[in-house]
Amino acid sequence: MNSEISDVEILELGVRGKEISSPWSSTMLLVKLTTKDGTVGYGEAPTTLMTLPVLESMKEVERIFKGANPFNVEKNIRDFYRNSFYLSRSMEATSALSAFEIASWDLIGKELGAPVYDLLGGTFHSKIRAYANGWYDDCMTADDFLKKAKEVVKMGFTAMKFDPFGDNYDTITKEGIDNARDIVGTLRAELGDKVDLLIECHGRFSTPAAVKAGMALDEFSPLFMEEPVHPELEVGLSEFKKYVLTPVALGERVLNKRDFARLISQGLVDTIQPDLTNSLGILEAKKTAAIADAFGVPVAFHNAFGPVQTAASLNVDVTLTNFLIQESFEKFWPDWKQNLVKSGYKLNNGYFELSGKPGLGIEVDQKIEEDHKVEGMEPFDPREPPWVVSGTFAKKESSK
């Protein structure tokens, strides 16, 4: 195809002030690629206390993609790889590049009149099971979690992920262990075995603390425990797996298929969670899933940012023979983010379905896009890290 990217627009969208689903949900980064014939493709990059560094990296990626043929996905990725000296260890660079890669697939699908998944091998799944995340804002006690978990079940979800560890970081106290056991045990007892519980550690623990936490929660049969150790302490995963029966999931901070291949082949991970918006996009996700499949490892994409990311993830999900489950914040987003995309996919009773429209299948609401343009870093709260769900790390001050 003789196609060329003639225009690049980098957009920061959001609102000012903290939103309830998480401190980092108040900004989004999108790239809008337009070809000479007027076809528009969208991609998305993550934020999480790096909004402006990623935005600046997107300007660097633009120098490779503007004027390029979007069909040459491998060539365009490699051209930036060759020029970006720190790409393999720079989440800012890989995130920026991922957004352009995703937008390229949106363009390719629209140019060919086909959904992206048809270009990746077609559908293996007709619908995609989701697990809820972002639902437990302001939850500190077992009763807090149970009340909101029951609402999640009423929405039709059969799986939910949550972080029961409060403000424990690096180490964990006996009180922290007891509170986590109380939370997880209460949900298991009240919700029964038909609801999968997924434990989020946010990569916060040293190896000894992770082992303590994992052994304490094993009896409640979580589907997996996510990022039990600090991400740079991957050597600790081997020790963790000696003592903890719960499967290990990780991947939102792993940036390419080669690093995933190393973790998988060494037996350090049981479920991989690549993030399409920081690990080089759609084609790399398909390759990474194939590597995992060769070792019998399932895939559950990390998906915590916005609807463009969700559409991209789902277009890969439906093609995978080793798909496990898909993360979803959709029901707990602010209204503007829920309404930003008018088509592409639906989430009903805990399952996603795709529209089958060309490209990613999405149609972005231009008014919401225009009305929510912002500038600057996302909000910062010194009491809570930007990776937690709001109100779960530090108790909120009571109003007087």
Average pLDDT, the chain: 94
User: Which pLDDT value is given to residue 397?
Assistant: 55
pTM of the model: 0.96
Q: Is 372 a catalytic residue?
A: no
User: Which pLDDT value is given to residue 398?
Assistant: 45
* Residue range 296-307, pLDDT digits in tens: 999 999 999 999
Packing angle of the helix pair 207-217, 174-191 (nearest 10 deg): 30
What is the C-alpha to C-alpha distance for residues 95 and 86, in angstroms, rounded to an integer?
13
| Across 63-85, average pLDDT | 97
Q: Model confidence at 22, in pLDDT bands (50, 70, 90)?
A: low
The position carrying tokens 């909004």 is 51
Q: Model confidence at 177, in pLDDT bands (50, 70, 90)?
A: very high
| Across 25-36, average pLDDT | 92
DSSP assignments along 304-364, one per residue: -S-HHHHHHHHHHHTT-TTB--EEE-GGGS-HHHHHSB-SSEEEETTEEEE---SBT---B
User: Which pLDDT value is given to residue 380?
Assistant: 79
Label residue 242 exposed, middle or buried (CB < 10 Å: 0-12, 13-18, 19+): exposed
Delimit the domains of the chain by residue range.
Answer: 5-114, 118-361
Closest CA to 286 of 99, 96, 102: 102
* Residue range 75-133, pLDDT digits in tens: 999 999 999 999 989 999 999 999 999 999 999 999 999 999 999 999 999 999 999 99
Least confident of 77-91, 241-255, 273-287, 371-385: 371-385
Select which of 125, 202, 230, 372 is catalytic.
202
3-state SS, residue 205: strand
User: Which pLDDT value is given to residue 399?
Assistant: 38
Q: Which pair of tokens denotes residue 185?
A: 């045990």
118-361 adopts what CATH topology? TIM Barrel (3.20.20)
Domains 5-114 and 118-361 share a fold: no
Packing angle of the helix pair 281-294, 307-317 (nearest 10 deg): 40
* Residue range 317-332, pLDDT digits in tens: 999 999 999 999 999 9
Euclidean distance between the first and the last CA atom of the chain, given in angstroms as a whole number:
65
What is the C-alpha to C-alpha distance for residues 117 and 103, in angstroms, rounded to an integer?
14
Q: Is 125 a catalytic residue?
A: no
CATH class (in words) of the domain with range 5-114: alpha beta
Question: DSSP letter at 69?
Answer: -
| Across 227-255, average pLDDT | 97
Beta-ladder partners of 11? 30
Instruction: Report the run of H or E that residue 212 belongs to, with start and end.
Output: helix 207-217
Q: Are 357 and 191 in contact (CB under 8 A)?
A: no
Select which of 125, 230, 302, 372 is catalytic.
302
Instruction: Report the run of H or E that residue 254 belongs to, with start and end.
Output: none
What is the C-alpha to C-alpha distance for residues 53 and 328, in angstroms, rounded to an integer?
26
Q: Which pair of tokens denotes residue 382?
A: 């010194």
Question: DSSP letter at 27?
Answer: E
